[in-house]
Structure 1
C-alpha cells in the first residue's frame, strides 16, 4: 500500500533538507529500435560523407593581429583579407598548406606548419587609414581631396601565429553504434569542418549568419517596411548513426532593402513624405546600420542623428587660405556640402546622419547616403511582416528538394582544397532512410462516440463535447466598433447548443459592452481600464466569463493589458476573438477554447478512458512541459518568461495546469522551479510547488512516483544543465513538501529549430502524419529520433527532434514513441495533431501570454527583474493558455 502523502498542505520543515543532487549522464541509445507502424521509404537532406584519410590530424593555431604601433585589431572586419594576403605572400613559409580561418582568432591546417610560431608583416593595399568623409566637429572638414587620397594608402599589419592544439579527424568518424562516445575532440573536429564551409561562403562574397550563407541575388521576398527576407542555405557536418553527413537546408534571414536611406525610412514608417517621419523612432532604427556615401564612395556606420536639420547644424571648419588661415569659422553642414560637393536639396530641412564617434560627430546629409547591400536586419518583425514572410518563403517538398540538390551540384563543397586534403568526398544524392508511420490514437467525444483521425486531422462539426461546461453569468465586450456584438453572442450560443451544452446551461450574455468612441484615442492600458470599469457598472458581481472582441486580428495592443487585468486582478476567464468571417467552423474552434478554459474536456484519447497507457496507467505519473520565452531582438533588458505546465487528473494525460515566472533576460535555464525556505513568507515556494499540489488535489490524493519532462528550447550544449540543474531543483521541491523518496524521471528534449527535413522517396507530398525515423540519420550514440506527428498542408513539414536524456521509468522504444505520438493529439484547442507534444505547446502558449503582460511596461537597463503578478485564485487552475 502506498503511504499517505503530505503534498497538499505540508508542514514547513525547519530541519536541514537532505541532499538530493545526483550526477546524471546523458542516456545512450538502446539496442532496440521501434518496430510498430507501416514502413515508408524516405529521403532526407543529409548527404553521406566519405573520408579516405581518417588518420588526418588538424593543427589549431591562435592568430593575433596588431597594427605597426602594436594596437590590437579586431579580426572580424579585416581578418579574412589579411589571411588571404598572408597566404599569397608567405605560402612557401607555410609549406603551401591551406588555411581554414574562422575570421577572428583561430586557424587550422591539415598536419603541422613548419614551425610552431610565426611573425608576419602583411601589407593590405587600399586599406582605409581614415574613415572620415563627412563634416567633423574636430575643427576641420573631413573628406577633402587630399584626405581621400591619403585614405587609400597601403597599410601594414603584424600577424602572429602560435600553435595551440591537435585535433584528430577520426573522433567524428563514428560508423557503428557505441563505437566511440563523441567528446570535446569530436566537437572540435566538426567545428573545423564547419569553418571550412563558412570560409568557402565568405570567399564567394556571401552574408554569413552562423552556419548559413546568403547570396546577393534575386531570391528574396519583400515583407514591407523596407525589409526583405533573403533565401540562402544552412550547411553543417553532423555525425550520425550511418556515419558522417553534410546537412544542407534552405534558410531565410532578414536584410535591409539596399538604397537611399530616406526611401527606407518612408517604407519603414509607412509615410509618404519625409516631413511625416518620426525622427526619434528613426534614430533607434538606423543605429548601427551601414551606409555608403555617394559623394566619396566610402562606407560608414551610423551612430545617431544630428540634433538640428542639415541647414542649421553648425560645425567649426578651419580656414585654409588667406589672412585668416588656421583660424576656424562656423558653417552649416548644408553650406559646406553645397560649396564642396553638391547642394543637398531633399534633406536640407532634415537631420543629418552621424557617422562619427560618440565625442566626435561626423555629419552626412541623408540624401547622399545609401544602405549597403546584404545588411542584416536584426530587429523584431511586426505581426504583418512575420505573416508575409511565412507566406512568401514557404516551399513545397518537391521545390525544396530541387533547391537542395541544385545547391549540392552548384557549390561543390568537397572540391575545396582543405577538404580535399583530408580525403573528404560528399555524395550528390540525398540519403535514403526507412521510416515508419504510426497509427493515430482513437479519440473519444460526447455520447461515447469514437473517432479515428485521418492523416492527423479530424472534424468536430458533427461531434459533441465530451464534458461541456455551462456558460453562465457572462458578458461580451467590444473594442471593435464595426462588429455586431449581439449577432456574435447569438452565434456562440447556437454553436454551444449544437456541441452539447444544453439550453439550461448556456444563457444569453448579461451585458453587451461597447467601447466609448472617445476611449479609442487612449493608450492600451487606459482603454482596458475604462472598459473594465464600464462593464463592472452593469454587473452586480464579477462575470464568470467574458468574450472580448479585439480591433485587430493579430498582435493587438489591447490583448496583453486585457489578459493581465482579467486573469490576475479580476479573476475572470476570458476569450479574445476578432472574427473576419463568421461561420459555424469559426465558432466551433472558439468554443473548444472556451470549454477548456472553463474546466471542460473536449475530447480524450481512448487509451486514457480505458486506462491502458503503458507504464503510466498504474503508477501516478506527472507529465511536465517546460519552455522559456525571451524578449524580442533589440530589447536586451526585457525579462525572459519561464512557463511549466503539469498534468492533472491522473491517469489522464490531456489536462494541465501552468505556473509562470520571470527571470533574467536571455537566460534559458529555469531558476524558479524551487524557491528556498526563506521565500515562503512571499507565498512562493516555486513553480513545482504549485504543480505538485495541483496534481495531488486532482489525482485522488496520490503523489507522483514518476515524472516525465518534455523540455523545449535548449541546444545540445545545454543538455547536461537540464539534467543536473533543473531536475535537481524538481527533486528539491518534491522533498521540501515532506517526501523522502525520489520519483523516477524520464527527461526528453523536444526541438523544432533544427535543419533535418524528411521527404517521401516516391511522391511529391509531405510525409504522412505519424512518420518516425530512429535509424541512420540519428545521433551515433545518444538516444534520439525524429517524429512528424502532424500533416504538413502548406510548405514542407519539419519533424520534431526528440532527445531522450534520461529514462529511469524504462520505456520500450515503441511505447515511448507511441506515447509521444499520442500527446500530439491531446491539444484541447486543436482539431489536428500538433507538430510537437501538447505539454510543450501549452508551455509555449502560457509563456507567450504572460510575456504580453510586460509589453507596455518601461523597463530600465539597470532595474531588477519585474515579478509577474500571480494568477487570481479563481482562474489559476484553469487552462487559461488554450
Structure 2
C-alpha cells in the first residue's frame, strides 16, 4: 500500500499497535578507531574503606509550640544544628546529614526509631521593630513592635523511614546484567552531605551547586552580578565511585543600597527617573537589611504615596494625650525617631509588612542583602557580557578545580569520614581517542578534509546552489545602503556558484512607523511590499532588521512570511559587509531554498554503513520551555526528520505547543477521533515527507536523537515517545515495526576533558568511552568541535536502544559525521545537526507568538501552521 498526502489516514485501535516495553541497553563494547590521546577529567576518584556501611533515613517534622508546621530550609538547618548540640548524647553522638526539609540520614541506626525533641533557639524574635499600620479598622492603629530576644521553642519529631545500604552503589560498578534500581539512593545521601557542608559555610545553594561572594564576581549590567561557585556531586563510573566537581556560575542581584540598585536596573542616572511601576515588580519578594535596626525584611510592595505624604496612625506616649492616636507621615516619624530621610522623602516607601498590615521603611534606610538569586532571563547583551567575563581557559579551570579540592577538604567531613570515604586530590587520568574528520564534498567535485573541525568556502562553490530570482530587500530602518548590500550579495553569490538576479524591489520602511509596535511595523511593511508586487509575492525576501540581537520585529515578520504569505526569508543586521559575512548569509539562504552547501564524502557516494542500503529516518527531538520567570508559558516541541534518503544532511521540521514544563512530546501521534483539526501529529508529517522524497520508500530503520532529558526520564523516552512513533507508523498501513536506535544527547552536564599534556582544549573529534562513563549503561563523551574560547564542553551521548545493531565504532563515527552536516556552519558543531536543527526550529516558533501564561484548566493555544510553499524547507537554518 502506498502512502500519499491525499490518502485518508488509516485508523487503527491503540490495541492494534503492539506496545513494546523497552529496557535501556547496556554497553556493547568499546570503540577502537582513532588515535590515542592522554586526557584528564574533573572527576576525582573516591575510595571506600567501609563498603558495608548502611545509611539510615529518617523523616523530620518541625512544628511550633502551638502545633503549626514550620517550613523553610534556613530555620530547619538552624534547628537541627541546635538539636545536635543539645541532644548529641541521646543520638549516640552520630553525625546527621540533613537536607534542610524533611529528611535526614545517619551512618548506622540511632538508638531508637522515634524521637520527640524540644529545641530552643536563642535570639529569635516574634515581631520586628518597625512602623506598622494596621489597616484592619477604619481609623487604624499603630502597633509599635518591641524587639523580643526571648528564646523560642520548637517541637522536632524524628521517625525512622528506611535503610540504604552503601553496597548497592558499589555493586553496580561490577554488575552489568542486573543493575540495582536503588543504586542512586546512597549517592543522594552523600550529595546531601555536600550541600549541608556548603550551607554551614553560608553559601547560596542551587541544586548540587553552591555559591559565595568572592573577588571573581562579574557585573553584567542592570544590577545583576554573576558569581562563581562549584557544582559537586558523587557519581558511579566505570572506574569506580568519583566526585565530579565543576566551576558553575549563577546570577544574583547586586547587594547594596536599594536606590543604587534601581538606578542600575533601569539604566538611569538620577533617582527621580526611576519607573516605580517597574521597581514594584522587580523588588517584590526581595530581602533587605534596614540600617536603623540592623534587621532583615522581605519586600511585599511599595507605598502608594511618597515617604513625606504616606500617613499612618501611632499612639502618643507622653503628655496630656498619652494613649491617643495621631496621624503622622513616615518621613516625620523617622526624622523624629532616627534621622532625616532626605534622599528618599519624595519616593515611595518599601512595604515589608503583610498584605493587610503594611509596614513602611524609607528607601535610603534599606540595602539588598547578598546572595539573592536573579531568576529572570538575561538579555542578549547580558549573556554576551557574562560569557566574555566568566570564560576560563583549560589551564585556569584546572587550577581553579584543584584549588577547590584543597580548600574545601571534602573527605575531612565527619559524616564522610564515618563512611570510610577518602578522595584523591588529583584529577582522574583517562585515555581518549581522536576520530579522523570526515571528507567533505563541495561543488566542481572538490573534496576537502577539515582541520581541527573547521573549514571555509574561500575559493569554493556550493555543491547544489539554488538560483535566487523574484526577490526583494526590505529594510526596517537600519542605517544601511541596501543598494550596495544587494550588489555585494550578488557578487559574492556569483563567486560561490549562486545565480542571483537583481532584486525586483528595495523597500524602505516609512519614517512615521519607526516608533510603532513591532506587529504594526510588520503589517505596514507587508502592505508596502504588496503594492510593489500586486499579483504574486516575491519568492524570497532579504529582511534588514533594526537591531542585531533580539529584535522585536523578528518574530512577527517570520510568522507572517512563513505561515501566511509562504515567503522564504532571511533576516540580517549587517554591521560589517564583507565576503565572510555575505558567505555565511548565503549558506543559510541556499539551505532554505532547498540547495545543498556541502555533503559528507560517504554521503555523496552513498556509502554510509547500515544506512545506505536500508531506508533510514533520522530524527532530532527537542522541547523548549518558557524562560526563567515564565514557567506557565506553553512549551514548544520540535522534531526534525531527515528526507531524500540516503542523504543525512537534509531535514524537515514539525513543531507543536504542549503543556508548560511537559518534557515528553505528546503530539507525535494524534488519533484522528481525538482532534477537531486535521492534525495527525508530528510523525505523520515527517513520515510523509520521507516517503515523498525517498523514491516512495518507507523507513525501515529510525535513529532518534533526543535532547534535553535527564537520566530519570530515559525510560519515558523509550516507552512513551517510541510507542507514539510506532503508532503513527502503523496508522499509515504498516504492520511491521521499524528497528530503532535511540540516543539521548546531553550538553547540560558537568564533565570536562583536558589534555594531560598541553594547555589547549582537546582536539576536535575527541571521544571517551572508558573510566569516567557509566558503569553499566551505554554512554560516551564526544567533543566533535574545536574549542576556541574558554574550555570545551563535550556532548554526553547515552545509547538507550540499538536494535539496528551499530557497533561502537560505527555509532561513534555516524554521530561524529552528523556534527559536520549543519548547513549553516563551517565548523563541526558540539551536538549533532538534527538536535541543533530541532532546537533552532523550536526557538523560531517561540518568537511567533508571545504566549502568556496559562492556568491548568486552560487549553494550550495552537501554533500557526507553515504555508505549504515553505513547510518542507529548512526554514530554521
Q: TM-score, normalised by structure 1?
A: 0.97
State the distance in 1 between where 2:458 and 2:375 align.
43
What is the Cα deviation at residue 681 of structure 1?
A: 5.0
State the distance in 1 between where 2:142 and 2:233 align.
49
What is the Cα deviation at residue 313 of structure 1?
A: 2.0
Contact residue 461 and residue 588 of structure 1 kept, 8 A: no
Contact residue 172 and residue 179 of structure 2 kept, 8 A: no
Q: Deviations over 1:504-532 (max 9, x none)?
A: x3111111111112111111111111111
Higher deviation after alignment, 357-366 or 869-878: 357-366
Residue of structure 1 in register with 2:615 after alignment: 620
Equivalent in 654, 657, 660 of residue 652 of structure 2: 657
Secondary structure of 2:153's counterpart equals strand
What is the Cα deviation at residue 188 of structure 1?
A: 1.2
Q: Deviations over 1:117-151 (max 9, x none)?
A: 1111111111121235243335444565xx12x2x
Q: Deviations over 1:194-237 (max 9, x none)?
A: 00011111111111111111122211011011011000111000
Higher deviation after alignment, 370-379 or 273-282: 273-282
Higher deviation after alignment, 861-870 or 691-700: 861-870
Secondary structure of 2:847's counterpart equals helix
Secondary structure of 1:616's counterpart equals coil
What is the Cα deviation at residue 861 of structure 1?
A: 4.8
State the distance in 2 between where 1:25 and 1:15 align.
26
Residue 423 of structure 2 is aligned to residue 429 of structure 1: no
Q: Deviations over 1:592-643 (max 9, x none)?
A: 0000001100000011111111111011000000001111111122111110
Residue 202 of structure 2 is aligned to residue 202 of structure 1: no
Secondary structure of 2:182's counterpart equals helix
Cα 1:131–1:670, aligned 2, differ >3 Å: closer, same or farther?
farther
Equivalent in 262, 274, 285 of residue 282 of structure 2: 285
Residue of structure 2 in register with 1:88 after alignment: 85
Q: TM-score, normalised by structure 2?
A: 0.97
Q: Deviations over 1:754-784 (max 9, x none)?
A: 0000000000000000000001100001100
Contact residue 175 and residue 243 of structure 1 kept, 8 A: no
Secondary structure of 1:281's counterpart equals helix
Residue of structure 2 in register with 1:825 after alignment: 820
Equivalent in 23, 41, 44 of residue 25 of structure 1: 23
Secondary structure of 2:277's counterpart equals helix
Equivalent in 245, 249, 256 of residue 246 of structure 2: 249
Higher deviation after alignment, 124-133 or 701-710: 124-133
State the distance in 2 between where 1:532 and 1:163 align.
69
What is the Cα deviation at residue 324 of structure 1?
A: 4.2
What is the Cα deviation at residue 77 of structure 1?
A: 2.7
Residue 458 of structure 2 is aligned to residue 458 of structure 1: no
Equivalent in 466, 484, 489 of residue 487 of structure 1: 484
State the distance in 2 between where 1:333 and 1:249 align.
49
Residue 466 of structure 2 is aligned to residue 476 of structure 1: no
Matches within 5 A, 1:105-184: 105-131=102-128, 133-138=130-135, 139-141=140-142, 147-148=146-147, 150=148, 152-174=149-171, 176-179=173-176, 181-184=178-181
What is the Cα deviation at residue 859 of structure 1?
A: 4.9
Cα 1:482–1:92, aligned 2, differ >3 Å: closer, same or farther?
same
State the distance in 2 between where 1:135 and 1:175 align.
59
Equivalent in 830, 834, 841 of residue 839 of structure 1: 834
Cα 1:136–1:183, aligned 2, differ >3 Å: closer, same or farther?
farther
Equivalent in 863, 866, 870 of residue 875 of structure 1: 870
RMSD (Å), alpha carbons:
1.5
What is the Cα deviation at residue 308 of structure 1?
A: 1.9
Residue of structure 2 in register with 1:508 after alignment: 502
State the distance in 2 between where 1:681 and 1:64 align.
50
**Number of aligned residues:** 870
State the distance in 2 between where 1:27 and 1:787 align.
19
Matches within 5 A, 1:277-356: 277-356=274-353
Residue of structure 1 in register with 2:774 after alignment: 779
Cα 1:797–1:266, aligned 2, differ >3 Å: closer, same or farther?
same
Higher deviation after alignment, 184-193 or 5-14: 5-14
What is the Cα deviation at residue 480 of structure 1?
A: 3.1
Contact residue 730 and residue 736 of structure 2 kept, 8 A: yes
Q: Deviations over 1:355-414 (max 9, x none)?
A: 112222222111111000111111111111001001111100000000001111111100
Residue 536 of structure 2 is aligned to residue 539 of structure 1: no
Residue of structure 2 in register with 1:559 after alignment: 554
Residue of structure 2 in register with 1:517 after alignment: 511
Residue of structure 2 in register with 1:5 after alignment: 2
Cα 1:71–1:864, aligned 2, differ >3 Å: closer, same or farther?
same
Residue 226 of structure 2 is aligned to residue 229 of structure 1: yes
Secondary structure of 2:773's counterpart equals coil
Residue of structure 2 in register with 1:467 after alignment: 464
Residue of structure 2 in register with 1:528 after alignment: 522
State the distance in 1 between where 2:676 and 2:106 align.
60
Contact residue 7 and residue 738 of structure 1 kept, 8 A: no
State the distance in 1 between where 2:414 and 2:372 align.
29
What is the Cα deviation at residue 802 of structure 1?
A: 0.2
Residue of structure 2 in register with 1:384 after alignment: 381
Secondary structure of 1:626's counterpart equals strand
State the distance in 2 between where 1:613 and 1:495 align.
33
In structure 2, runs of 5+ residues without a counterpart are: none
Higher deviation after alignment, 858-867 or 814-823: 858-867
